[in-house]
Structure 1
């Protein structure tokens, strides 16, 4: 049963139910205590040990029922009315255990043989739906399908009516066996690979260009929005756990002496110096012109989903002029907020210099030495004055200026792009045209607030 439990844990992990080695050990101890006789008790005990949220309980229930439920095996009916059996088949059938089980209609023996053959064929290692037909054939081969096919071929060549009839019955049993094998492999796919296709799709979307020609398909758009929120939650979980870190090896003498007063001055409790981890203060300035609007939407979704670890988030958008979009983002869902912003300032000729001027005149007091400024845009200003002096002012007042450009670096400085001129006033200037790049850059920003 230990092997079955390990396979069950693997199926749960494939369904995104997190199980640590310690929890797996606890589950083994739990099963040893409650046993297997009472199915309900067995299920509830495992669920209480392994599932840690309502969502995981739902996934646990689904995987448990799929894993521990066996549908009745549909074998061919034993013995037809005219009495053909194993003895009516060609002589080589006497050496085939599978032929005997099929002709006898022994469903329980066939079911057990199929599970043993599945272990040898490693059917539980299935990862993609395209593997199902190949693994079904491999499973049947492990059971002895090749022998059955040779027996059927020999029976067809026979001139004996009873042998031919027995061959037809064996052929019907073979088809029934193939259908059972297909259902078995399908169940294994549901257990071990149902999430792998989705994960593969998300990996592809994480690398999909945000400014691709033709835009993003609405179905992909919805999946990418959900993916961005999960990425943000993952980073929030990682960077919100501890608000203080110890300076290992740096003794805090004052606090150590104070705590030792209760022991007559003996320093039983050693206290080390700690430094508080700051929560990031972020100002996001986004170009929402047509070529950059999709990237701006995902950046704002990402930043607004980091509410657990961000102390302050101010968002501004521009095309020809710049406006604050905090109120728009608060009133509307992020998915539709960009459309509302476009109604106000969209479809204008992009002017980075005028947008920086609007920001410095109206919102420069939003920046201090604790603020990270993230600018998203392609730096194509239609040959207008880029106002480098204003970006230099923002750089001097801020903790860091990070410029995210959806275009490849080889395009910077070509045509009306002034990215090569803005770059020298940025602490970081990187291409950012996929969700994977966006996650990596935002994580770098969060990491800079943790003392090393």
Structure 2
């Protein structure tokens, strides 16, 4: 049964229930204490040992029911021949189509559902069904499972029985054909359960990996279904960064041994270091000012950047968000009232459909909000730098650069487009600390993580 427990733990990990090696050992000790006899006691004991949150309890329950539930395998009832013998094998010297050489055929003919189920479990282990990762593997693994069970022998017996052209042969062929169809259906259901246990998350993860690389300014926009997945993905990315940064803040409080201070303290105790002093590195929470172009070509990227930053409220000391198309407005209140998903629409209703003017937006920011920028503030500007040939107000960009800790400009366009047409991006880039192409969620994650890392003392 140890193998069964190990496979269940693997299914839990696939269901995003984190199980560490130490927790796996605890689970084995729990099973040794409660046993497998009482299903509810077994389930509750493992759940208490392994599930660490409400979400994990839900995922644990789903994985447990899928893993330990065995649907009853219904076979056609045994068919007694006219002479009273079961099995429908040919009689009166009609010939033996090979039933006696096939244990599977014998189990199917006598209706041994339990034996067939056990044979399927064993065949699945030999066929590696539990290694399924993609839905496209279902058909191949189902056939491999049936081959391991001996389906080819069943098909040969059916063909041989039909060739006899006798009543007994036809009856045997019919019985085995009905049982074969039931066996195939059960094998398909078994492989489907294994996919749900071990691979249901694989397809989602593969899809998320593709969405993390999807260009946010792609022609035709983002499919609504993809948009929902991407919104959930960006929140998980932000949570992952928040957890990682929080751990850095926690470990920073420990520091390293401060030899000089420890020796100085020890002078009061005759040189004995009774009081240990540690070097403590100071880790500030970031203060971020986000200025986002919400014109049509950049709106999707602005939404995801704001989602990223807004989801980092645990580790960000202060977030001031601004949006512009022609004129610039603060959007913190809009974010609070409408959430990130609805904020962009509200912003567009307020300032949308204006001619993009970066110079005017910078002037609005400096005139009304420059006090939000100091030496502890990172300014993140998202936009393509296309100002419709208006004055770009480089002097104001220079002022923001002088006041800020860092200025980061994220441009959804490739760098080869900077400076072409009405783009003044190459001129703005001189007044930034970092200017990068950024038009995927993966790039957003890396850049925001870099911002958080700069607030950790080295």
TM range (shorter): over 0.9
Aligned to 2:384: 378
Structure 2 unmatched ranges of 5 or more? none
Aligned position for 1:412? 418
CA deviations on 1:65-85 (whole Å, 9 max, x unpaired) are: 111121112123223454563
Structure 1 SS opposite 2:379:
strand
Instruction: Give matches, 1:288-303, under 5 Å.
Output: 288-303=294-309
Flag the 1:329–1:252 CA change in 2: closer, same or farther, 3 A: farther
TM-score by length of 2: 0.94
Please name the residue that 2:188 is paired with: 182
Partner SS, residue 333 of structure 2: helix
Please tell me whether residue 199 in structure 1 is matched to residue 201 in structure 2. Answer: no
**1:96 maps to which residue?**
102
My pick for the range that moved more, 214-223 or 89-98, is 89-98
Cα deviations by residue, 1:228-252 (Å, 9 ceiling, x for unpaired)? 1111111111101224626966515
Distance 1:292 1:66, change over 3 A: same
Aligned match of 2:133: 127
Q: Secondary structure at the match of 1:163?
A: helix
What is the Cα-based RMSD across aligned positions, in Å?
1.8
Change (3 A) 1:116 1:37: same
* Alpha carbons of structure 1 residues 318 and 252: separation in structure 2 relative to 1, 3 Å: farther
Which residue of the other structure, out of 211, 215, 235, is the alignment partner of 2:241?
235
Residue 156 of structure 1 and its aligned partner are, at CA, apart by: 1.3
Shift in Å at residue 31 of structure 1?
Answer: 1.0
Change (3 A) 1:15 1:418: same
- 1:13 equivalent in structure 2: 13
Secondary structure, counterpart of 1:211 in structure 2: coil
1:41 corresponding residue in structure 2: 41
CA shift in 2, pair 1:247/1:112, >3 Å: closer
TM superposition shift of 1:319: 0.8
Contact persistence 1:86–1:100 (CA under 8 A): no
The gaps in structure 1 that reach 5 residues or longer are none
Residue 64 (str. 1) matches residue 71 (str. 2): no
Does residue 118 of structure 1 match 2:124?
Answer: yes
Equivalent positions of 1:45-444 (< 5 A) are 45-82=45-82, 83=85, 85=87, 87-88=89-90, 90-241=96-247, 242-243=249-250, 245=252, 251=258, 253-254=260-261, 257-258=264-265, 266-444=272-450
Deviation at 1:115, TM superposition (A): 0.2
Structure 2 SS opposite 1:74: coil
Aligned length: 451
CA distance in 2, matches of 1:51, 1:38: 19
